[in-house]
Amino acid sequence: MTGPEAARREAATEAAAPPGGARSARGQASVLLVGGLMGVLVGALVLGAVARAVGREGEAQRAADLGALAGAKAMYVAYPRLFEPPVFAGRPNPAHLDRSGYDGPFAYRQGKPMRPDVAQAFDRMERAARADGVELLITSAFRSDAEQAALWARHPDPRWVARPGTSLHRYATELDLGPKPAYAWLASNGERFRFVQRYAWEPWHWGYVLNARSTADEGVAPSTGDGLAGRTLPGFVPARFAPLLTRAAQRWNVSAALLAAQLYAESNFNPFATSSAGAQGIAQFMPTTAAALGLADPFDAERAIDAQAHLMRDLLRRFASVPLALAAYNAGPAPVASCGCVPPYPETRGYVARILGLLAAVLQRHFD
């Protein structure tokens, strides 16, 4: 068939059958669509897995936070009972709460119990000592009050054996180490691993000072160690001193609330205060103490607060207790070390009680 009619039929046939190029384009589009859907599905699965992991981590963190708050609140509720007399009218006082030692889980090294974090720190120190050809042996670690009482009965000399209820060994942070050839290595290297020699006359007694049982934040806010140092400032702090306290607290890893309560008790934040005994400045330093800390001018508030935080850091490390560190700040470390207690000086006991009361008030506002 020729002519116009044949041309029309041929054109109609070509129009009815889709060209090969169009079929190819639609096939490619289908592949791309399926690939895109698969990508979306895989992405959704990955995002779902991430979301579940984040959710579990968030739940664990919330549980940890709630546990810390519950522990701190329990401590706050029990805190006043520490000051109740143990005996009333000749009978044991049920309202009295004895300061107990460590009651958490133990880790054992060389058969001796201690806090798990202390054990890990000792492992690091022992490896370093062994690399230097020095052997470290643990002769004593955690001791209960009953064990301390038995030791005291055998050796009732407070210079060498702490009275029951006062030994730092009850906190599971202390290690008695030997042998004698290791003493020099410990003196040179102990602080690298956060262990300090507690007493100059006991070269074998080393205490772990990171996350000590009684840290500067105890009684202020839930914390591990001084993790909140510099973050918690009471409302009674004058605005001009807030940044000075925050910087000093962060530099020396001491609670800003503790430093603030001290300044309130010492001078009521008066940088030019003086006492009849000769104490000077906002932190009430005696000239000899200021000189020992490198503080040339006790009336310079910024440097005095920094020196105060420095001294409190040292006292907290030495005595591992906020009340004992405060007592040493007020009365000097010698009488505190002699009795292992807040010395029976009315001024010192009043000073400690006043600051602890201020800290308790801070905690009450935190929870109320």
* Per-residue pLDDT tens digits for 246-296: 899 888 888 888 999 999 999 999 999 998 889 999 999 999 999 999 999
pLDDT at 72: 46
Q: Where are the domains of the chain?
A: 49-98, 107-208, 239-367
Dist CA 368 CA 364 (whole Å): 6
Which CATH code is given to the segment(s) 107-208? 3.30.1380.10
DSSP state letter for 281: T
In this structure, CATH architecture of domain 239-367: Orthogonal Bundle (1.10)
Ranges of H-type helices in the chain: 4-16, 20-78, 116-131, 145-154, 183-189, 242-252, 256-267, 287-292, 301-319, 322-331, 333-339, 346-367
Q: Which residues of 338-366 are buried (b: 16+ CB within 10 A; e: fewer)?
A: eebebbeeeebbebbeebbbbbbebbeeb
**Token pair listed for 153:** 């009965």
pLDDT, tens digit, 9 for 90 and up, residues 163-177 = 777 788 888 889 999
DSSP state letter for 280: B
pLDDT at 141: 93
Highest mean pLDDT among 37-51, 70-84, 320-334: 320-334
pLDDT at 225: 30
pLDDT at 223: 28
Q: How sure is the predictor about 50, in pLDDT bands with cuts at 50, 70 and 90?
A: low
Answer whether residue 137 shows pLDDT above 50: yes
Other CB atoms within a 10 A radius of the CB of residue 12 amount to 9
Residue with tokens 């009471």: 234
Dist CA 249 CA 216 (whole Å): 10
pLDDT at 163: 77
DSSP state letters, 81-135: GGGS-SEETTEE-TT--------S--EEETTEEE-HHHHHHHHHHHHHHHHTT--
**Mean pLDDT in residue range 131-145:** 93
Q: What percent of the chain has pLDDT over 90?
A: 35
DSSP state letter for 174: E
**Mean pLDDT in residue range 67-81:** 47
**Mean pLDDT in residue range 314-337:** 91
pLDDT at 8: 41
Least confident of 35-49, 108-122, 284-298, 333-347: 35-49
Higher-confidence residue of 209 and 142: namely 142
Higher-confidence residue of 313 and 84: namely 313
pLDDT, tens digit, 9 for 90 and up, residues 182-219 = 999 999 999 999 899 988 888 999 998 876 543 333 33
pLDDT, tens digit, 9 for 90 and up, residues 217-229 = 333 332 223 333 3
pLDDT at 321: 84
Catalytic residue among 14, 266, 302, 347: 266
Q: How sure is the predictor about 230, in pLDDT bands with cuts at 50, 70 and 90?
A: very low
**Mean pLDDT in residue range 27-33:** 51
Q: Does 302 participate in catalysis according to the annotation?
A: no
Q: Give the chain's mean pLDDT.
A: 75
Higher-confidence residue of 246 and 304: namely 304
Higher-confidence residue of 14 and 345: namely 345
